[in-house]
Structure 1
Amino acid sequence: FVWTGFDYHCEPTPHEWPTISSFFGILDLCGFPKTAFDIHRAHWVDDVPVVSLTPHWTWPGREGQPVVVLVMSNAERVELRLNGRKVGEQAVDRIMGNEFSVPYAPGRIEVVAMRGGKVVATAAHETVGKPVALRLTPARTVMAGDDEDTQPVTIDAIDAAGRHVPTANLPTQFSVDGAAIIGVGNGDPNSHEPEKGSARSLFNGLAQVIVQAGMGRGRIVMTATAPGLKPARLVIDRAAIAPRAQMAATYGGQAIREWRRSPAFVARPDPALAPIDGDNNSWAFVRSGTPVQPAAEGRWRLYRASVTPWRRIGAEGGTIRFAAIAGEAELWVDGRRLASKAGVEAGPLEAALPAGGGVRQIVLVVEAATEGVSGVIGPVSLEPLAR
């Protein structure tokens, strides 16, 4: 068990404001892999050889100063090389990783993983140049033209050789045609930049834009710009597809789920009867859709609910609907009899609810048959008037 797979907003422990997200995810807020990703690959992957190293190898001004390099692997031994020269070799520690202290020199730092004396995997970092351009990389090159399909696009800064520049933390701007930008990010747990909009700074040379395709066949054209860098342009095909099957939305209204049910009475009770304060026993707490079996004595019961209607229903009035009541029934609201149901067989009941603000007292008087269940055996709702 590892907490967590992804970074997330809040809980920046052990850090404090202005940090606004966790630090300990395997992936950052955008899903970009962190060092923890490679650490756990070395821990958990057994079927293929893996090796990686951190940090990057672009440290201008630190020539000759020691840099601690962490190597992560599931092999038996690892050898570290700088510009083709062997720096050191160690037996692999899959749990803690292997550390090497290396005097920084520009060039290529490479790790070779070995098993049984044979090279099984390699990884390397190179010293990169200054950023000269932006690059846009989509997760997919085709999107569905259904006004719903969504995907991330990665923005990064590259040098003249097309290599990622991890030190480029520049402000970037985005625009898109044929799609909508629905989110932006960069994985920085200390960033307070908006996650909606058309701009985001690079963090470790990376940022992300979430795009949602428009409708129909066509093209999505996205551009990214940053001060002093060559802009990037990306074209994604938007394919025409048949609309996915849908059902019309149904409006359920304001549900009335919680009721108090009286004990059984041998004669019709007064609808004004209510449990006394603190009575949590003689009147049961029940939910709509809960039938009750016949009592040993008495066929009459009261059901009470206190409801504050939605603002529109309170102002204009509405309809109160019982999907199914078993038994004969009378409906009372705020001391007024609104409707009744004849016959003990299960059936619906509805009535016009007069306008009125505040808490409304709904009472159902039910007379059960001599056999079979009774009560509020289906959903109950308040519906606004149609417009």
Structure 2
Amino acid sequence: MTYLVLLFAFSSGGINLFAQQHPRQEVDFNKGWKFALGDQPGWSATDFNDKSWRTLNLPHDWSIEGKFDQKHPATVGGGALPGGTGWYRKQFQVPATAKGKYIAIDFDGVYRNSEVWINGHYLGKRPNGYIAFRYELTKYLRYGGLNTIAVKVDNAQQPNSRWYSGSGIYRDVKLITLNPIHVAQWGSYVTTPEVSNQSVKVDVALQVNSGTNKQTAVLKTIVLDADKKVLATNTQQVQLGTGQPINTTLLIKNPIRWSVDHPYLYTVQSQILVNGKLLDRYDTPLGIRSFSFNSHKGFTLNGKAMKIRGVCMHHDLGALGAAFNLRAAERQLEILKSMGVNGIRTSHNPPAKALLELCDKMGFIVMDEAFDMWEKKKSEFDYHLDWAKWHKKDLEDQILRDRNHPSVMMWSVGNEIPEQGGTGADTSGRVITRSLVAIVKSLDKTRPITTGNNNVEANNNLVLSGALDLIGYNYNHDKWKDFHKTYPGQKLIASETTSALQTRGSYDMKSDSARIWPVRWDLPLLTGNADFSCSAYDNCYTPWGSSHEQTLQAFENNPAVSGMFVWTGFDYLGEPTPYTWPARSSYFGIMDLAGFPKDVYHLYKSAWTDKPVLHILPHWNWKAGQEIDVISYYSQADEAELYLNGVSQGKKSKQGQDMKVMWRLTYAPGELKAVSRKAGKIVLEKIIRTAGAPAKLELIADRSTIKADGKDLSFVTVRVLDKDGNLIPNADQLISFKLEGEAEIAAVDNGSPISHESFQANQRKAFNGLALAIIKAGEKASDVTLTASSVGLQSATVAIQLKP
């Protein structure tokens, strides 16, 4: 029997879970679960024998472990991976001394239709796969004995999503132990109604659980700076048991503002004391910022006009699937930050709590989205089946959980909702919009509310409701300029843009000829490339979308467009537009599924950062005499000059709103060099060379030192090179991995949208010269060595150190 003993004093320098210095205990409850696919009577029973079940740690996604197959009911649109039903069980002990405490379990997300039992007692069901929830365990625990928690996860009815959902307990689980008098779940609400450079007024509304115990307590509220220095304190006597929130106001002088460039965080600490005894301590993050949206001037943060330069992100983490990993999410945000992104749209569902914490710390503006559909369905078994019973509770829980995050500056209550349409008696979209907005504003009045609309005409029922603070346009960049004619006096956010299609390292000539694939959204692709690729020249896009450059031009030159969210930052599993099987993941990303940048990454970096950029594409391995378009993205320079084998091909400067320059050359093998200059002085040089025969491998770890915590990751890039170190642009060799030390290969990938190789393996073919191995730390300090080998090539090693 595998079990975790909780709620006692650990020896050998461990912690006492009831230590008085911190009465609130939130214990990581992710380790040591038993798991089995299937569904049998009795699996929830306390005495069920689960010894034959697999032991694993959460978060976990069983779908990502499966085989790709177009016959899976999730369909290719859902990632062509299996769903099904699975069970999780865990045993743990609670000492007799814990009796009288409040004990609960928190799930941050279970996809989907989760049902939970404790010691055979049924706790409840949550159909929504993206919502966080808590169950109190107190009454059903065996104090001094063994307890069993069982979770059924039912993702069998598919399709229930338009993209890859994953299956399982795929976000963090925590066991919560509190005194009976404590701050309620998500019971703190901190706002800053008055902000100036001299001071900020901080209002705190605190909901305290005390049952029917109407007694007097002391509430001490403290504001701490980032170094945990006390800046302000308020102490008051309060009456518990009223059911009403307790309100406190504090003043901070000379506040440091939270911004995307300097995401400074304070902490508001609430302490509840009765007869001098500390019963609870609750910390709430505080980012002090003021922001506004203007119908003509766009977005302002802390009094300064700025553009929200964002991307849409689905919740999967590529080869890791839907199972949330802090480092994997952090890596994605680091890559996005490096190209100038300052905004994230959580399309089309509430994100992991930890993602919002990262956005708070790293400086991203978040559009926090609730739903992809309302009453009217998009997929046969999607959330429309649960809408009537659950949407109010789910939306309330999302707002309560997320409303203290300074990164969250917009709520979106729907994406491309079918109820946008309808005339005559069918105006349900107006009624539902008003209802959803009322729910949000009953809990948070500090942020505007929007929806992502693909119908941008004046007859949109969501807009006609009059309830929305921001009008979200999905695509339709050519109509942004006429926005105020359609919606006079309204404020515009480009909630979803672009839908351009690229395969990393694939190029269709000529670069200035567009490929609109498919020709219409509801028609299959009749033509395309035999290798199921899309051109990375930024000349391939959907009929509802536009190229990256076209969208950027419209966005940057229209001050009324407060922000835009590109579809998408990263490729994701599912929705393999414009193709179907064998394609199984998207082509929309600025980065591919493995996180390798496509060429347009450098376009955004040149437009959205103040860093010098010089990038040339494509690679330089072609047929002799072939006509090749060479494109350069550059910034912080006046011009770029191109040289082929030392001979200048001419200087080029961007004209008008152009964001690139282009030369059309007759291919000759050798060296292609670009030079950017400002005022005649060289800013940057970039060289690409014709690659010879594959000769060796190279390994590059994104971090050579990681934490030995059983969770941390190192992402190791594999490059296939010739003898001179040039990347082979079409290399597809099978690469085998060997790992030594206290770590494991969590997943492998190569970014190909049509690969059917398992992510759970110790080998992977390269795709256009690159592959990826994701190394997961064990729990012991160790020196780890990863070796990559391939037949006929010189192998490579990289060292990774695991530190405690």
Q: TM over 0.5: same fold?
A: yes
2:704–2:714 contact (8 Å) kept in structure 1: no
Instruction: Tell me which moved more, 33-42 or 110-119.
Output: 110-119
**Deviations for 1:288-346, whole angstroms, at most 9, x for unmatched residues?**
xxxxxxxxxxxxxxxxxxxxxxxxxxxxxxxxxxxxxxxxxxxxxxxxxxxxxxxxxxx
Inter-partner Cα distance in structure 2 for 1:228 and 1:48: 40
What is the 5 A alignment of 1:123-202?
A: 123-178=686-741, 179-202=743-766
What is the 5 A alignment of 1:194-273?
A: 194-239=758-803, 241=804
- Counterpart of 1:149, as a letter, is D
Inter-partner Cα distance in structure 1 for 2:779 and 2:606: 44
Q: Which has the higher strand share?
A: 1
Query: What's the TM-score, normalizing by structure 1?
Result: 0.58
Give the superposition deviation at 1:198: 0.9
SS in 1 for 2:567: coil
Query: What's the TM-score, normalizing by structure 2?
Result: 0.29
Distance 1:48 1:136, change over 3 A: closer
1:64–1:104 contact (8 Å) kept in structure 2: yes
Counterpart residue number, 2:647: 85
Counterpart residue number, 1:20: 584
Inter-partner Cα distance in structure 2 for 1:172 and 1:238: 24
Distance 1:114 1:36, change over 3 A: same
Structure 2 stretches of 5 or more lacking a match?
1-563
Counterpart residue number, 1:50: 613
Inter-partner Cα distance in structure 2 for 1:91 and 1:146: 51
1:213–1:220 contact (8 Å) kept in structure 2: no
Inter-partner Cα distance in structure 2 for 1:143 and 1:199: 23
One of 68, 93, 97 as aligned partner of 2:629: 68
Give the superposition deviation at 1:233: 2.1
Inter-partner Cα distance in structure 2 for 1:95 and 1:23: 24
- Counterpart of 1:63, as a letter, is A
SS in 2 for 1:137: strand
- Counterpart of 1:185, as a letter, is D
Which structure is richer in relative contact order (CA contacts within 8 A, separation 6 or more)? 1
SS in 2 for 1:14: coil
Inter-partner Cα distance in structure 2 for 1:65 and 1:166: 17
Counterpart residue number, 2:79: none
**Deviations for 1:228-254, whole angstroms, at most 9, x for unmatched residues?**
112222222222x2xxxxxxxxxxxxx
Give the superposition deviation at 1:146: 2.4
2:699–2:719 contact (8 Å) kept in structure 1: yes
**Deviations for 1:3-45, whole angstroms, at most 9, x for unmatched residues?**
1110111112222222111112111111111011012122222
**Deviations for 1:181-207, whole angstroms, at most 9, x for unmatched residues?**
111100011111111111111011110
Inter-partner Cα distance in structure 1 for 2:771 and 2:575: 22
SS in 2 for 1:37: helix
Inter-partner Cα distance in structure 2 for 1:89 and 1:190: 39
- Counterpart of 1:70, as a letter, is I
1:108–1:126 contact (8 Å) kept in structure 2: yes
Inter-partner Cα distance in structure 2 for 1:238 and 1:44: 35
1:25–1:36 contact (8 Å) kept in structure 2: no
Give the superposition deviation at 1:96: 4.4
Instruction: Tell me which moved more, 179-188 or 84-93.
Output: 84-93
- Counterpart of 1:238, as a letter, is L
SS in 2 for 1:43: helix
SS in 1 for 2:677: strand
1:42–1:72 contact (8 Å) kept in structure 2: yes
Inter-partner Cα distance in structure 2 for 1:135 and 1:91: 36
Counterpart residue number, 1:117: 680
- Counterpart of 1:22, as a letter, is S
Counterpart residue number, 1:31: 595
Inter-partner Cα distance in structure 1 for 2:798 and 2:684: 33
Counterpart residue number, 1:292: none
What is the 5 A alignment of 1:257-296?
A: none
Instruction: Tell me which moved more, 88-97 or 29-38.
Output: 88-97
SS in 1 for 2:727: coil
Structure 1 stretches of 5 or more lacking a match?
242-387
One of 604, 611, 630 as aligned partner of 1:40: 604
1:78–1:92 contact (8 Å) kept in structure 2: no
Inter-partner Cα distance in structure 2 for 1:72 and 1:188: 24
SS in 2 for 1:39: helix
Q: Which has the higher helix share?
A: 2
